[in-house]
Amino acid sequence: MAIEIKLPSLGEGVESGDVLEVYVKVGDTVKKDQALFELETDKATVAVPSPQAGKVLSITVSEGETVKVGQVVGTLEGVAGAAAPAPSTPAPAAPVAPVQAAPVVATAAPVTPAPVAPAPVAPAPVAPVPVAPASVKPAVVAPAPVSPAPVSAAVNAQPASSQANDDDVIAAGPAIRRFAREVGVDLAGVTGSGEHGRITREDVLSIVRNANQQQSTKQSSAPAASAPSAAPSGAGSESGSRNAAGKSSGERPGTAATDDFGPIRVDRLTKIRKTIANQMDKSWSTVPRVVNFDDADVTELEAFRQSSKDDYASRGIKLTTMPFLIKAIATALKHHPALNAVIDMENEQIIYKDYVNLGIAIDTERGLVVPTLKNADKMSIPDIAYALSELSNRVRNNDFAVSDLRGGTFTISNLGAIGGTYSTPIVNVPEVAILLVGRSRKLATVMDDDSIKPRLMMPLSLAYDHRLVDGATAARFLNDIIAYLEAPSRLLLAI
């Protein structure tokens, strides 16, 4: 009996998504909850699971297609004895971690021996580890510069006995699958070191490192006679490695094309970029914004942080200035409710939030992501440091849910982590204010006794919705933040 596969609920407010990649094809046998395809929503990328075990009869979606919640995406022939899913209970939205669009790590240089047919070598060893250099036959020379084929060739030379059966599900989330494809690693030959044998990012990286070492060993031991022919290949591989290691700075996005004036590159507007564009357009067209600029003397705060950072480092936490800034903002918001509110023009209401959820803007390969630190006003500085570290790691690994991006009442943008001082940030509607912090720098400062001393100054840019927040209110709020930052002891005792 054919069972319809429908796109399940993806979270509150999420009605559709774009198909990034289809994992299965007609005729494949899948297990219950096995990932069928990747779907990109507003911010997160999730895997759509199979509602039950069976054989794939049809797949009605393709890459790049937009799919709505409840839409039929394929059919499945159920396995005898498997219970069909209840019609009224949709399958969970994302049983596996979101996919990471991580930058490609540095790849090894292409192998210099003569090209061989593009098929992986299959020696006899059983252990699913990279083959020793002596046992690896010359791998396929990478094709045109499209993907990290050199690592793929080296890694694909895994023992044939380690390849998983068609009916087996590789214990790896979509984020790890995406990362493995980026660096050319076949997950069927990787042994997971995570819980219940789950493949981790480090497992994939170890395969890449081993492949790089093998290739480096081969090149360093190659006879000098082969140098002329190896030189062009080496030059190309160096460029490829730079692109792989620094994708944002070296590799150009999009597909090559031409217009009336010369070569161009055309790239698809992703779901995330469309969401960001719509949000920015809405903010720009509806919010009359004003920006206040000021500086906080964080000399004492920096000395306090330096004296405390080793205690946090011993627990695996890097203590930055951000936890102190978050604490200062969260405390100030409790005393200035107008900046922790929402204006509802349609119903002629102002909604003041009694909770403080701070959105932390984080720059990622896939675009700007703003996860929310919930109830920041109730957290101590150590709690904030731990929570911020965990939140940052999850965003970097693309291991977050749509719910992590919702419920914010105020946004912080840290330009100083990249560089720069002041800016005019865009208010993240429906919020009414956003604070941008620049890179702290030493400035000659006139002290109260008219002496001039070098002080570490932190630039602050507060943008706010002038429909609700007056200039005086914004100035008082920013003054309170500065006062907390300039007196760390007051910040620790703040209520």
Give catalytic residues, as residue numbers.
466
* Both structure tokens of 326: 């978050």
Read off φ and ψ for residue 453, nearest 5 degrees: -135, 150
CB 179 within 8 A of CB 100: yes
Q: What is the DSSP letter of 188?
A: G
> Residue 21's closest CA among 51, 63, 68?
63
Number of residues assigned to the chain: 495
* Both structure tokens of 329: 């903002």
Q: Which residues pair with 125 in a beta bridge?
A: none
Residue 429, SS3 per DSSP: coil
Count the helices and strands in the chain (H runs, E runs): 11, 20
CB 439 within 8 A of CB 416: yes
Q: Which amino acid is at 425?
A: P
Residue 483, SS3 per DSSP: helix
> Residue 66's closest CA among 297, 273, 270?
270
| Chain CA centroid to CA 191, Å | 24
